[in-house]
Structure 1
Amino acid sequence: MRNFSARDLSVRDLCARGVVVAVAAAAVVGAAGVSGAAGAVGGERFGGVPEADLAFHGRLWMDDGRVELRMTPQNHGPFGVDDATVRLRWSAPLADEQRLPAGCARSGARAVLCRTGALPADGWGRTVTLAVRLRGEPSEVTLGIDAVWGGGAVDRNHRNDRQEVLVLDTGDSYVF
């Protein structure tokens, strides 16, 4: 039996609320692989587990303490994934009240977790659009973006699924 860390438990708690699905499948992947897109034919397996390579591309801008994000997940890997979870972590605290889109949930004072939906092998997912209000009106904020769950697939290339973007409160668009 695997011991769960606090991070695993918070993601698992979100699963119970329908935000992230099938986290248990990531912990128990049989030799036959996983069902759906992650079990697609072709590609290499890493230790018997399908391999994906998640990346996140988009733009964000900030105006008067409101940050808007448009981000499209991409899977460079040889296997698709049925769903994945990306964490968006701001360097400044979020305002207490937020209106988050379906598939996203707050995770602490500075972070939001969002589902990506299905990511086909060597393909793009649906665009995630999100607007948050920061506490106060900071003149700049750094957004950390990282995959916290890859749909049961292993991702050995973390150079493209973890990044930080500095955005200034000018209304200008910053691309990543």
Structure 2
Amino acid sequence: MQRGGTDAAVGPDVEGAPAAPADPAVLAAPDPGVVAQAPAGAEADLAYHGHVSLWSGRVGVWVEPSNHGPAAVPDATVRLRFSTPLAGTEQLPPGCLRGSPETVLCSTGAMRAAGAGRQIALDLRVAGSPAEVVVNINTSWSGGVGDRNPDNNTHRVLAPATGDKYAY
């Protein structure tokens, strides 16, 4: 991952994907504690925690984004890449879009330093009935801030088809 939280693999994931909706209902009201544009050289520490579950051909992912600071983050994009292609055309939550058959990209919303972002809950069908799925979770875009600690925003979760929650 490069400084600034941008991954060189972003391009292929979003090829042909529609732009995020500009509907005001989709965008959260601005947080007065977060600047609209990150100052040059700003540093933050993005983190993602949650769980993944696989049951009966469905995968559930819960993401709780947070920012440990020191700078505020105007917005960030978390990438969820699945080892099995997703099936169907389920409605994704506001702020999320399909990047490829195996990838979903979601906005975290603005995060002040030592603050939380928008919680993300996905319930998606996968192709077939796999015995397990691996979900790679990482930052695709960091809102222009640097993050020297990608360890807490880069996760690889193996979820067997037990219906149990596997935390990260």
Tell me which interval the TM-score lies in, with the shorter structure as reference length. Answer: 0.7 to 0.9
Higher helix share: 1
Structure 2 residue 36 is the aligned partner of structure 1 residue 36: yes
Gapped regions of structure 1 (runs ≥ 5): 22-33, 40-47
TM-score by length of 2: 0.79
After superposition, give the CA deviation of every residue in 1:5-34 in whole Å (9 maximum; x if it has no partner). Answer: 7735838x6556449x9xxxxxxxxxxxx9
Mapped contact 1:37–1:79 kept (Cα < 8 A): no
Structure 2 residue 82 is the aligned partner of structure 1 residue 79: no
Gapped regions of structure 2 (runs ≥ 5): 1-7, 28-33
Paired residues, what number? 152
Residue 71 of structure 1: how far off its partner (Å): 1.1
TM-score by length of 1: 0.76
Larger C-alpha radius of gyration, 1 or 2? Answer: 1
Structure 2 residue 59 is the aligned partner of structure 1 residue 56: no
* Bigger RCO (CA 8 Å, 6+ sep): 2
Q: Which residue of 1 aligns with 2:162?
A: 170
Query: Superposition pairs for residues 2-151 of structure 1, below 5 Å?
Result: 7-8=10-11, 10=14, 15=19, 17-18=21-22, 35-36=35-36, 38=38, 48-151=40-143
CA distance in 2, matches of 1:78, 1:158: 15
Q: Which of structure 1's runs of 4+ aligned residues deviate more than 3 A?
A: 8-11, 13-19, 34-39
Mapped contact 1:37–1:80 kept (Cα < 8 A): no
Mapped contact 2:20–2:97 kept (Cα < 8 A): no
User: Identity of aligned pairs, percent?
Assistant: 44
